[in-house]
Structure 1
Amino acid sequence: MRPLRIALFAPYDLARAGGVTTHIRAQARALRQLGHTVRIFGPASAPLDEGETALSRSVTVSFGGTESGLGLDPRSRSRVATLFKSEPFDIVHVHEPLVPLLPWFALRYAPSRIVATFHVHREHGHRWYPAVRPWLQSLIRRVDVRIAVSEAARRTVAAHFPGDYEIVPNAIDVDAFRAPRRRPPAIVAGTPHVLYVGRLEPRKGVDHVIRAMIDVQRDLPQARLIVVGDGPEREALVALARTTGAQVDFAGRVDDEELPAYVQASDVVCSPATGGESFGIVLLEAMACEKPIVASRIEGYETLVGDADCGTLVPAGDAHAIGAALVSLLGDGNLRRTFGAHGLQAARAYDWPVIARRLDAIYQRLLPE
């Protein structure tokens, strides 16, 4: 294996928590463990760690039910061009290359072999794709290998930019989620706990699982919902829990080191998103911890949960169906253990060392002998 210099370009604010950003940092760690030199570039709203460089200020925009910090500073064009003139890279790997503007500049100026990963899944893509498609197509043609994290993501992008795509899924560090952790104070032993992990924004459907807890508490009065994450819906969700009487603890943002403890200490992990999910890292994290899942029957979740037989799928947005599924799992330890065992077995195929070797094979084949 030839050691490589790899540049990873992030589309979203590196100083803010998010699934794609977490994925990129984990990818960098896994590739470094294979002996590669990896640097991360992206927009940022605060100072970054060593090995990460901000090339654009972050501008917060809202689309698809999500608030994101994007690299919309036009001055980043010259910064990217200067970077590639001054530093040699064997591979430039751009994540979400259709997100403006920084990824576009990376595609435009990269003199190296280019790999691009598409994470997004939307039933109709972005509404602005058609307006800029001819120009974006000229950039996408510069990509040597196109990767989609799931079949759902592939279909979304291929509908607008036809071509060949390889499916390389998201990954997690299975060992990190398997290592024993101290139980968080918010999760009391012997009390049934449902866990939600993610942004607090409309498309994530957290309001539905809060309403579902009313049904759960009729059968299991001590059951509690733990919400890990933050976002623009926090105040509204806190108010909803208060007015409905649902027993909900809002833990706020939890760093990567703390998160496995919350997953391990929970009884069921619930992902009630109503759409816009291409894969579902939280599902993999639950599977690695042998926790059963209740998730919406949406394309980004259905394949993973259904194929692994590691949980129950319910209609998106149906609080009563979510509640019934939670009651069933919380009341059946054998079923929880069965789903958990299936989940762990499936999760091992998504371990970062496995996925990093797949990425390395792609990189190596792009380079001259």
Structure 2
Amino acid sequence: MDVTDLRVALFSGNYNYVRDGANQALNRLVDYLLRQGAQVRVYSPTTDTPAFEPAGELISLPSVPIPGRGEYQFSTHLGSAIKANLAEFDPHVVHISSPDVAGHRALTWARKHDIPVLASVHTRFETYPRYYGLGFVEPAFVAILRRFYQRCDAIVAPSASMIEELREQGMHHDIGTWSRGVDRSIFSPEKRDLAWRRSHGIADDEMAIGFLGRLVLEKGIDIFAETMVELRRRGVPHKVLVIGDGPAKAFFADKVPEASFVGFQQGADLGRAVASMDVLLNPSVTETFGNVTLEAMACGVPVVAANATGASSLVMEGETGHLVPPRDVAAYADRLTAYAEDPDLRRAHGKAGARRADAFDWDTINGAVADTYLRIIEARRGGAKPSA
């Protein structure tokens, strides 16, 4: 079998109704597969106000809004119509990108019909409860995820650090890499725009510390805010540039009064905004790869990040930025203070990051996923079965 012969059923918890790094990667994968001649059907909750046009054929799954986070939908079941659609499509492989209800039901359907399943890991779901005072349920989350992933034929994760974490958790024995790429026509040091910075109250000689992402607690905005408080206490001159939007914006704005909030950006506007930072501070520990880290590096921006999955596979300590113990506010402030005092070091680390970003080509990365599909299909035809 060749990639041109493939029929892929892809299940996502959020394919295009709210833009994020995970669904951007999924849409790029589908676009790549379609360009190779494969057939793809995507099954995901949908809304009347999608964030962008989806790549490929999108089938809507039954869903309800998540309580307290109404911008997100939670699948409730597959239903007979979806199962009939799957049977008619007759996929060679099922790809599940979210361990939600539909993901569990799709896995059961695939096993019943002897169809191999690839699961992709996009976020540290088990870490989310700790940001909402529910850290005690984390072991149960890990156990549920372990049961889910062990029933799959293989899983892919976006970074070596995430693969190591999954192995330590006993999630699966067959874990491959599906990295992430970056569009260098959008993210480049040449996109830096001093006039745009000035329009947002940032002078040419001021160090702009950037935040990039959804404004939600699980992105570590509390640690970011505490670090800015520490910099103010130390008298370190700086400005804050916040790119993104989300339900925690009011909390963030109250904690970082020196910040310029430029809202959600995309395309060329996003590239300009990222390149106009002087350093990215990314304290999130929920990332499996860290798209925002790679985008900043591609723009020649040094990164100070939590030493956690994702960033630890991208940031070269003392070369393209710094890795800091996840909740060590003083350590974050130390690294940012050093950059404020030494602009030449800041620029040198940024240039090194831009060179490192050159290695992340989307088609090569997505080709590895197609190869994994073909491998597990052949293994299943040869009699191999999931371990659980």
TM bracket, shorter-chain basis: 0.7 to 0.9
Q: CA deviation at 1:308?
A: 8.6
How does 1:43-58 map onto structure 2 within 5 Å? 43-48=45-50, 49-50=53-54, 51=56, 52-58=58-64
Q: Could you tell me which residue of structure 1 aligns to residue 102 of structure 2?
A: 102
1:36 aligns with 2:38: yes
Mapped to 2, the partners of 1:57 and 1:205 lie a distance apart of 28
Q: 1:240 to 1:73 in 2, by over 3 A?
A: same
Q: CA deviation at 1:20?
A: 1.7
Provide TM-score, normalisation by structure 2: 0.78
1:217-228 equivalence runs, <5 A: 221=237, 223-228=238-243
Equivalent residue for 2:140? 127
The aligned counterpart of 2:120 is 117
Pair 1:47–1:126, CA change in 2 (3 A): farther
Tell me by how many angstroms 1:310 deviates: 0.8
The equivalent of 2:130 in structure 1 is: none
Residue type matched to 2:76 in 1? D
Q: Unaligned stretches of 5+ in structure 1? A: none
Contact 1:215 1:323 in 2 (8 A): yes
- Give the Cα–Cα distance (whole angstroms) in 1 for the partners of residues 373 and 173 of structure 2: 19
- Which residue of 330, 337, 341 corresponds with 2:347? 337
Describe the shift of the 1:313–1:160 C-alpha distance in structure 2 as closer, same or farther (beyond 3 A). Answer: closer
| Residues 258 and 26 of structure 1: CA distance in aligned 2, closer, same or farther (over 3 Å) | farther
Shift in alpha-carbon separation, 1:89–1:256, aligned structure 2, 3 A? farther
Q: Does residue 261 of structure 2 align to residue 258 of structure 1? A: no
Indicate conservation of the 8 Å contact 1:77/1:102, yes or no. Answer: no
Residues 201-240 of structure 1: pairs in structure 2 closer than 5 A:
201-214=216-229, 216=231, 221=237, 223-240=238-255
Q: Distance in 1 between matches of 2:366 and 2:318?
A: 22
Correspondence for 2:131: none
CA contact (8 A) 2:75 2:100 kept: yes
User: Aligned ranges for residues 81-100 of structure 1 at < 5 Å?
Assistant: 81-96=83-98, 99-100=99-100
CA contact (8 A) 2:145 2:171 kept: no
Structure 2 counterpart of 1:285 = 295
For the structure 1 residues 150 and 38, does the alpha-carbon distance in structure 2 shift closer, same or farther, using more than 3 Å as the test?
same
Distance 1:311 1:182 in 2: 19
Aligned match of 2:330 in 320, 328, 352? 320
Residue pairs, 1:166-181, within 5 angstroms: 166-178=176-188, 180-181=190-191
State the secondary structure of the residue aligned to 2:297: helix
Contact 1:293–1:311 (CA under 8 A) maintained in structure 2: yes
Separation in structure 2 between the aligned mates of residue 327 and residue 261 of structure 1, nearest angstrom: 24
The AA in structure 1 aligned to 2:266 is D
Q: 1:366 to 1:179 in 2, by over 3 A?
A: farther
Q: CA deviation at 1:324?
A: 2.8
CA deviations over 1:225-277 (Å, ceiling 9, x no partner):
111122232111212234xxxx101222223453211111111111022x333
- The 2-side partners of 1:362 and 1:92 are apart by 12
RMSD: 3.2
CA contact (8 A) 1:45 1:57 kept: no
Contact 2:186–2:267 (CA under 8 A) maintained in structure 1: no
Whether the aligned pair in 1 keeps the contact of 2:96 and 2:103 (CA below 8 Å) is yes
Is 1:248 the counterpart of 2:250 in the alignment?
no
**SS of match in other structure, 1:71:** strand
**Separation in 2, partners of 1:263, 1:290:** 9
Contact preservation (8 Å) 1:267, 1:330: no
**Aligned positions of 1:71-90 closer than 5 A:** 71-74=74-77, 76-90=78-92
Cα distance in 1 between the residues matched to 2:264 and 2:118: 31
Q: Classify 1:100/1:288 alpha carbon distance in 2 versus 1 (closer, same or farther; 3 Å).
A: same
In the alignment, the residues of structure 2 paired with residue 145 and residue 220 of structure 1 have an alpha-carbon distance, to the nearest angstrom, of 48
